[in-house]
Amino acid sequence: MKDLVSLCTRKGFIFQSSGIYGGINGCWDFGPLGVELKRNLKDDWWYTFVQMRDDIVGLDASIITHPEVWVASGHVAEFHDIVVDCKECKHRFRADHLEGPKCPDCGGELTEPKQFNSMLRTRLGVSEDTAVETYLRPETCQSIFVDFKEVYSSSRMQVPFGIAQIGKSFRNEVNPRNFIFRSREFEQMEIEFFCKAEDETKWFEAWKIAIWQWYLDIGLTESKMRWLAHPKEALAHYSSRTEDVEYEFPFGWGELQGLANRGCFDLTQHSKHSGKDLSYFDATTNERYMPSVIEPSAGADRTTLAVLCDAYDEEEVDGEKRIVLRLDPKLSPIKAAILPLVKKDGLAELAQGLELKLRRKFNTFYDQSGAIGRRYRRMDEIGTPFCICVDYESKENGTVTVRDRDSMEQVRMPMDELAAYIGKRCSHERD
């Protein structure tokens, strides 16, 4: 983990937020490479679950909502962590994360457990007396329920169908930790899939398969993944069944995604609290009912971390350590580096011209400084799948070498075939 965190900072994947002010606990900034990686991941999720399916549509709702949303959803009353404080060092811990009866930091005595609501409050409005107190959403899904009727009537979707959303969520986590695994501001990728009550189990099972496949598609190692079913007594207030996909991080197993059967809890609650009927009318059968919901809820940051952990590799090549991020090419921040063998004799100009052409298709990087071996290594470290070397032969016959990051093998090919060759290997298009 230490090596990965150091690589992430050194290379511009992830920085501590507000670093020059000493940082702020639980918040992270994605640097130039991190933003590309996370964006590729979210795009692939959207491609898989929205673009490629005709039974799911998207939504991008506001982060701040009417405060009543969180009363109806049960978050005001129920979204509590049970916490204990250390009487000596005053540190606070989640009771369910403790391994013994003493403070894990100083061994001091702990207080009795108490409830702590982890929603972040904010005030909306310009004048002190009329401003309303509300919350930064702790999950993206509530707006999906609130907008359910507008979405299905405007898009003419019919149950069974789903609504997907990617966006920021906020939780005042008691102990943000393990790098970006547990943060206070993070991104979720959620789908609320609406179906008939009698089809809940069928859809739950179908979603288990779809979710698992996506993790394989983005390159996670299958033996580092597992399903974990929540015991009945540990279920959240809205769920009748929850199973998590967990990943084996260097610090242990951790949840990547929760799959929950929320029944008709949320639509019923919002109907009650808003006074607007959110039931669904099936015109083909003349039935009116409250649909059930199967919810796959994933974290974009946790998935990014899993992808980085899975991809990180060190090996020895010619007596030297090689760090390589074996990212799936469709997730790599930079798809191809264009490197002139030397700067002189017109090779730099030729390589720059090539790079200008290729950058229209995908993210490229031009680098002419240092020995070619060093430049290859720099690209390996950030997961660039292809390095294109422009050499003397390129001037003569328009061919270049293409080096593969993982095998380090090189093939020679005409420059005008590069866009198709690399584009195909870096695309998230599935056959």
Residues near ligand ATP, by CB under 6 A:
139, 171, 173, 182-183, 186, 188, 255-258, 297-299, 301-302
> For residues 60 and 128, which CB has a smaller minimum distance to ligand ATP in the complex?
60
Cβ nearer to ligand ATP, comparing 171 with 335: 171
Q: Which is nearer to ligand ATP, 239 or 401 (CB)?
A: 239
- To the nearest whole angstrom, how small is the minimum distance from the Cβ of residue 303 to ligand ATP? 7
Q: How far is the CB of 301 from ligand ATP (least distance, A)?
A: 5
Q: How far is the CB of 349 from ligand ATP (least distance, A)?
A: 46
- Residue number, 190 or 200, with CB nearest to ligand ATP: 190
Q: Which helix (H) or strand (E) holds 141?
A: helix 141-146
* Amino acid of residue 45: W
Q: How far is the CB of 300 from ligand ATP (least distance, A)?
A: 8
Minimal distance in Å, beta carbon 157 to ligand ATP? 24
Decide if 350 contacts 363 (C-beta within 8 A): no
The terminus-to-terminus CA distance of the chain in angstroms comes to 35
Q: What dihedral do alpha carbons 347, 352, 354, 355 form, nearest 10°? A: 140
Nearest to 148 by CA among 50, 299, 281, 242: 281
3-class state of residue 412 by DSSP = strand
Q: How far is CA 329 from CA 203, 325, 420, 424, in A?
A: 31, 10, 14, 10
CB of 149 to ligand ATP, least distance (A): 25
Per-residue HEC secondary structure of 73-107 comes to CCHHHHCEEEEEEECCCCCEEEHHHCCCCECCCCC
- Comparing CB distances to ligand ATP, the nearer of 207 and 365 is 207
35 sits in which H/E element: helix 32-46
Residue among 304 and 394 whose Cβ is closer to ligand ATP: 304
